Chains A and B, each alone.
Chain A
Amino acid sequence: MSPKPRVAVFKMASCDGCQLQLLDAEDALLELAGAIEIANFAEASSRLEEGPYDVTLVEGSISTPEQVEQIKEIRAVSRFLMTIGACATSGGIQALRNGRDLAEVVRQVYPTPEYVRSLERSTPVAEHVKVDLELTGCPVDRGQLLGAIAWLLQGSVPRPPTTPVCIECKRRGYVCVVVARGEPCLGPVTRTGCGALCPAFARGCYGCFGPSQPPNTEALARRFLELGMSPVQVAEKFRFITGYAPAFRETAERLEREEASAT
């Protein structure tokens, strides 16, 4: 039996919610502790060992100058780098500032803006270093995360599904909120993984898991406009948790231009 793989978990700009998916895994956590050696996981243990690591999980986006350097150092000591969650894979909610005046945004948000030192843009980890596997979601899905670790332990890299949320929504027998209520829902262009959580409560999908297989965001945007939304309202739907993901961003930008040119 080969020694247990050494695993590290790091956080960049994020809310810790994805790491909590691991810490809250209860029964699976014990199983996990039996299968891997947690070498560096600040949220879980004060015992922080140096690399190299066999598998490194990174939560959060690259949002500060320090993180630009830190992620390179992490990459250098990681055999396999897996980013987890919407922030790490598409810049996160904090990417809402991208394309705006940073100083103005900081002034609006923080009472003491002089302490804030951020980059102009919040960006996914893969824009900075090579990433071996991305697990999307806000937060990342625990089943997918543990499943991915199980795959790695078997010696391969999983291929998370890229099919839209709708497939899971229908498997679970939820009634479509677009068709039966006329509510906008990003499910048709968002990849499955959450278990169709929002439609389960008769709400439209927020797109937490990011764009599905090359998504037809333009066709869905047209549908939202037919439902009576303005182009900017539709753009705001796409510019949310994974709004900086290219497919969502491009459609949002186009809609904003459309509204700007109409007024």
Chain B
Amino acid sequence: MSLDVSASAVSEAEILAGVAPRVATVRRVVQEAYETYTYWLTLDDPVVRRAYRFEPGQINMFGVVGVGEIPISVSSDPARPMRLAHTIRATGRVTNVIKGLRPGDRVTLRGPFGRPWPVSAARGGNLLVVAGGLGLAPARPAIYRAIRDRGAFRRVIVLVGARGPEHMLFRHELDAWAQWLRFRGIETHLTVDIADDTWPYGEGVVTTLFPRASIDPRVTTVFTCGPEIMMRFAVRDLLGLGVPARRIWLSIERNMHCGVKLCGHCQLGPYFVCADGPIFRYDEIGELMGVAEL
């Protein structure tokens, strides 16, 4: 029995990237926020390292041998794929082991998987990034790409919320963006649910930043990433402002074991988040997000 797999658009190389774990070395570990660290990695095999590319928003399966894998989006600059970063909060079985990683330790990567942020879809108009908490990590590669291609957009607006100052990721970078990148046309506004004396920015949930961003619904493309509840509120307000559902993109998280649509864990209605997502257009999944326990 010969199987017709020729119809597939997937190349042999892509299959191998999905199936076979590649060894990578931890180069640097940077604490970003409470219990949250960025792990800078390089793939060990020089051929694999030079060939590796990823798009903003894409996922790797990040593995600690003998312990397990987690799906995690790349948080570094897609223009520099030889230096990969993943930003991970220690919350579970595998991530608690990841927390113990030190420079020189070996991990495994499979990927990249999934549908990326459509950064080019925002060209010619405004790009608005709305991120909450850890959700800034998957959005950061899209921001980098927009910064590198700044001339292609009218405005680039980055709105970030977090529970408190200690939960704000990439704080030095955000401070820099908020303070000097605006001269280069990146408008950054930050807020935390509960501020302290040291916090120089806003207080309140991320949607309270919308008025300050003076969003023009006719030309704005939105990328939002964060807890589902935060994204729901953000989308509700954006739709209220008149931003069309088809120009709002969200990053969805689900349990994942394979990354190549064969383990079944990441299903969301008809979608496999590993391949059809993690980035979805709101009109594709809005209804599904409203169904409890789907």
Cross-chain contact A154 with B93 (CB below 8 angstroms):
no
Q: Across the interface, do A158 and B93 meet the contact criterion of CB distance under 8 Å?
A: yes
Of B94-102, B142-150, B237-245, B274-282, which binds chain A?
A: B94-102
Q: How many residues of B contact A (CB 8 A)?
A: 9
CA distance A158 to B92 in the complex (A): 9
Chain A positions 156-181 with a Cβ under 8 Å from a chain B Cβ: 156-159
Min CB distance, B176 to chain A, in Å? 34
Q: Check if A3 is an interface residue, CB within 8 A of chain B.
A: no
Cα(A206)–Cα(B66), bound, Å: 32
A111 lies within 8 A of chain B by Cβ: no
Q: How far is the CB of B41 from chain A (nearest CB, A)?
A: 19
Measured between C-beta atoms, what is the minimum distance from A66 to chain B in Å? 36
* Shortest Cβ gap from A108 to chain B (Å): 45
B window 53-79: CB within 8 A of A: 64, 66-67
- B99 / chain A contacts, CB cutoff of 8 Å: 155
Complex Cα gap A169–B185 (Å): 62
Residues on A with C-beta less than 8 A from B100 are: 155
Residues of B within 8 A of A155 (CB): 96-97, 99-100
Task: Give A150 to B66 CA distance when docked, in angstroms.
Answer: 9
Tell me, in angstroms, the Cα distance from A158 to B66 when the chains sit together.
12
Query: In the complex, what residue of chain A is closest to B67 when comparing beta carbons?
Result: A154
Chain A neighbourhood of B64, CB < 8 A: 154
By secondary structure, the A interface counts as loop
Expressed in whole angstroms, the Cα–Cα distance for A150 and B97 within the complex equals: 12
CA distance A242 to B100 in the complex (A): 37
Chain A, range 104-161, C-beta contacts under 8 Å to B: 150-151, 154-159
Min distance, Cβ A82 to any Cβ of chain B, angstroms: 15
Query: In chain B, what residue has the closest Cβ to A157?
Result: B93
Chain A, residue nearest B65 (CB): A154
Q: Smallest CB–CB gap between B5 and chain A, Å?
A: 27
Residues in B192-227 with C-beta less than 8 Å from chain A: none
In the assembled complex, which residues on chain B have CB atoms less than 8 Å from the CB atom of A154? Answer: 64, 66-67, 97
In the complex, A150→B100 CA distance in Å?
Answer: 15
Give the distance in Å from the alpha carbon of A4 to the alpha carbon of B190 in the complex: 46
Are B96 and A159 in contact (CB-based, < 8 A)? no
For A151, A156, A157, the residue with the greatest tally of chain B CB atoms inside 10 Å of its CB is: A156
The A-contacting residues of B in range 93-147, CB under 8 angstroms, are: 93-94, 96-97, 99-100
Instruction: Tell me the bound Cα distance from A155 to B102 in angstroms.
Output: 13
Measured CB to CB, the closest approach of chain B to A155, in angstroms, equals 4
Chain B residues, CB < 8 A from A150 = 66
Interchain Cβ contacts under 8 Å between A and B, 20 examples: A150-B66, A151-B67, A151-B93, A154-B64, A154-B66, A154-B67, A154-B97, A155-B96, A155-B97, A155-B99, A155-B100, A156-B67, A156-B93, A156-B94, A156-B96, A156-B97, A157-B93, A157-B96, A158-B93, A159-B93
Lowest 3 A-B CB distances belong to which pairs?
A156-B96, A156-B97, A155-B100
14 more CB-based (< 8 A) A-B contacts, given A150-B66, A156-B93, A156-B96: A154-B64, A154-B66, A154-B67, A154-B97, A155-B96, A155-B97, A155-B100, A156-B67, A156-B94, A156-B97, A157-B93, A157-B96, A158-B93, A159-B93
